Structure 1
Amino acid sequence: EGIMYYKNGKVLGAIWTYGKPTAKINANNDQVNVQHVKVDISSEVKIWAVVVGVARYSHLPVLKFTDDDAYQIYAFLKSPEGGALPDNQISVLIDENATRKNIIKAMNNIFLKADQNDVILFYYSGHGFPGAFLPVDYDGFYNQLKHEEVKDILEKSKAKHKIVLADACNSGSLLAMKSVPLKSILEKYYAAFETSSGGTALLMSSKGEEFSLEDRGLRQGIFSHFLIRGLKGEADTNRNKIVTIQELYNFVYQKVRAYTNNIQSPTLTGDYDQSMPVAVIR
């Protein structure tokens, strides 16, 4: 029993007898067919998001909070503070729906609609290892979602602002909302994108050689716990009612390092404008 890697990229798992596969276990050529997506051209800034959370793996240890945290990120993005995204601009894939094929299709179908004024955001919570995220159908050999694949889709998108938030063990905590007119909140948030030069920002839960931790006391992943607290306003250090990507990273980095006794260190990389907005405060 073993795996054959062909020069053309095909991968075949089988029981082999005298060099020939006598019982195929699995076959995968790593290809996902994606239909042509038409760009949604508009003078207005729009936010497009794909949210993925996987907890209930079949071939990996089950995680406790990643699916719940993805739902909380989804709820944030549907709220005025997160942009009040309409249903056609956001896709959420949880547990059994979060297959490699579905994630790639969702990213293409959502992100390739963005025009040069827009924002795309990818949030992933689940297992991962260096160079790849692990969808629900990862079986130890097949169906890993390589970081390069994510990068390729981001690069194909025409969006001005590109944000990746990734946690290998996730969480979320929503704060109470205050009574401020929703229209003024949304206008301020979207206007902030117009003054940012854009770019790609990748905020990851830990360094490559570190683990990302869940916490029973928080009932959440530590990174995402502080991520959502930051998005809901605690990261707004200059009190201008806009949370920027740099403010969010500074807040999350300090809080996660302190909570884990310096075991886990979030990272922020990419070619991005430090003033890129990620949330607005009521």
Structure 2
Amino acid sequence: MNRTKEAFIFLILPLLVFACASTKEMQQPPQFSFEDPVLSKGLYHKGTSGIPVDRTTTFSTDDPEVIASVKLKNLSGKHTLRWDWYDPNGNLYSSTGNYPLEASKGKYLREATAWHKLSIQGERTAHSPGAWRVNIYLDKQFITSKPFEIKPEHLLPIKPGLAKRKSFAVVIGLSEYEYTGKSGLTNLPFADDDARAFRDTLLTLGWDSDHIKCLIDKRATQRDITISLESWLTKAGPDDLIVLFWAGHGFPDPEDPEKVYFACYDTDPVIPATGYRMDRVRQILEERNAKNVVILADTCHAGKLITRGIKAISVNPYIERLKRERKVPKGWIFMVGADTDRQAIEHSSWSNGAFTHCLLGALSGLADGYESAGRKDGVVTMGELRAYMESAMPDETQRVLGVAKRPIITTSTGDPDIWNLSLHMK
């Protein structure tokens, strides 16, 4: 290895990241184990976890990097990890060397994620397309080799959901409220983080930051939200994709329970009209005449977005009626974390609402090819997302809460192609 490569190795060593869960006192150390390493285009890391985003073995010369991550469990004592990257000619391109990992004496790390990245765009890597591989070593012992391919951008196939179209998202998260304590209105621990995490996920999936309007806490007044939905979104055309994500409180009008509102930052719960009516959201988005709309809501009574104020009628029959009457444009997908009479769920085990926790995991790649709902190709379609959410959310809430909670997922069209839609823009 020449001196140029040695300098390069030195520069990439600080990019080795080690994120771990809480350190536990060790009576008798549990058995150490590790999961099969994963290749991805990104990594969502928050606090103690690292979740691969956009898992794939095919990269382009325009991708920023390849990330190789490995999850370690019950780590105690001293260990080393090493990543060796090999170019298409089989030559060692770069190496981390044996990177030391160590838990505090007498303690162990219940779970840890370690990763290293190979930069592509703008680096020498981009000038060497072809079949690469990364070898990973634990305690100087070889554990696996992960092959991957770097293709020139113009040779990559166009995948479902990646057609050239503009995409716009309004992302709203409210953990704090101006009138907290009034009429039972409480702050929410995770709703603001839900919104930030979803925004960051869209950016990782290739969204243009100028096409994401993120409103959090004091920036999510009724006026701010009205401007975003009723003015800013007017730039979206009929063939563009519109995504609405809302995490926060929802509440019914005590005088007319059929009127259900999102709580804005400055909503006075005694005056429901200071919130934003859920059916108004539907009306505004319909006025855009957009063919592709995805609505994601992790909030109490969010099912009202679907049932549109019709009392005592289940979701599916109402959607069928909308289709017969042709009142809703084709291509709308609804995924909500609570029906019209249900509460959204938060728990400290997730650092998110239950719905958002599962949603972020799904978009990070866990839903890719899930239960044969689609091909495992690095792109999560809405069909794969649906299959994953319908399974993962009840499983996860059963595990943490002791009771299974299910998302409400439906669409306004019977066309099965709607489930090929994807939030991936790369």
Normalised to the residue count of structure 1, the TM-score between the two structures is 0.69
Tell me the CA shift for residue 209 of structure 1: 2.1
CA shift digits 1:100-131 (9 cap, x unpaired): 22112101233221112210111100011353
Measure the CA separation in 1 of the matches of 2:278 and 2:247.
Answer: 14
Instruction: Work out whether 1:103 is the aligned partner of 2:264.
Output: no
Instruction: Work out whether 1:128 is the aligned partner of 2:250.
Output: yes
Query: Could you tell which deviates more after superposition, 67-76 or 263-272?
Result: 263-272
Corresponding residue for residue 15 of structure 1: none
SS at match of 1:165: strand
SS at match of 2:388: helix
Corresponding residue for residue 244 of structure 1: 381
2:405 pairs with one of 264, 276, 280: 264
Distance change >3 Å, CA 104–CA 200, structure 1 → 2: same
Corresponding residue for residue 203 of structure 1: 335
Ranked by relative contact order (alpha carbons within 8 Å, sequence separation 6 or more), the top structure is 1
User: Percent of pairs identical after alignment?
Assistant: 30
**Alignment size in residue pairs:** 209
1:153 pairs with one of 261, 284, 292: 284
Measure the CA separation in 1 of the matches of 2:334 and 2:244.
Answer: 9
SS at match of 1:117: coil
Corresponding residue for residue 84 of structure 1: 207
| Alpha-carbon contact 1:210-1:263 (below 8 Å) kept | no
SS at match of 1:278: coil
SS at match of 1:166: strand
What residue identity is the alignment partner of 1:61? T
Normalised to the residue count of structure 2, the TM-score between the two structures is 0.46
| Alpha-carbon contact 2:263-2:276 (below 8 Å) kept | yes
Corresponding residue for residue 419 of structure 2: 274
C-alpha RMSD of matched pairs (Å): 2.1
Corresponding residue for residue 100 of structure 2: none
Distance change >3 Å, CA 49–CA 204, structure 1 → 2: same
Structure 2 segments unaligned to the other structure (5+ residues): 1-162, 253-259, 301-328
Query: Could you tell which deviates more after superposition, 91-100 or 152-161?
Result: 152-161
Measure the CA separation in 1 of the matches of 2:282 and 2:187.
Answer: 27
Tell me the CA shift for residue 68 of structure 1: 1.1
Instruction: Work out whether 1:138 is the aligned partner of 2:267.
Output: yes
Measure the CA separation in 2 of the matches of 1:44 and 1:98.
Answer: 31
What residue identity is the alignment partner of 1:250? A
Measure the CA separation in 2 of the matches of 1:164 and 1:62.
Answer: 23
SS at match of 1:242: coil
CA shift digits 1:143-186 (9 cap, x unpaired): 121111100111011322111110028xxxxxxxxxxxxxxxxx
Corresponding residue for residue 293 of structure 2: 162
| Alpha-carbon contact 2:194-2:352 (below 8 Å) kept | yes
Tell me the CA shift for residue 50 of structure 1: 0.6
SS at match of 2:355: helix
| Alpha-carbon contact 1:210-1:264 (below 8 Å) kept | no
Bigger radius of gyration, 1 or 2?
2
SS at match of 2:423: strand
Tell me the CA shift for residue 94 of structure 1: 0.5
Larger strand fraction of residues: 2
What residue identity is the alignment partner of 1:275? N
Corresponding residue for residue 231 of structure 1: 363
Measure the CA separation in 2 of the matches of 1:277 and 1:198.
Answer: 16
SS at match of 2:188: coil
Superposed structure 1 runs of 4+ greater than 6 Å apart:
none
| Alpha-carbon contact 1:49-1:110 (below 8 Å) kept | no
Tell me the CA shift for residue 54 of structure 1: 0.3
Tell me the CA shift for residue 202 of structure 1: 1.2
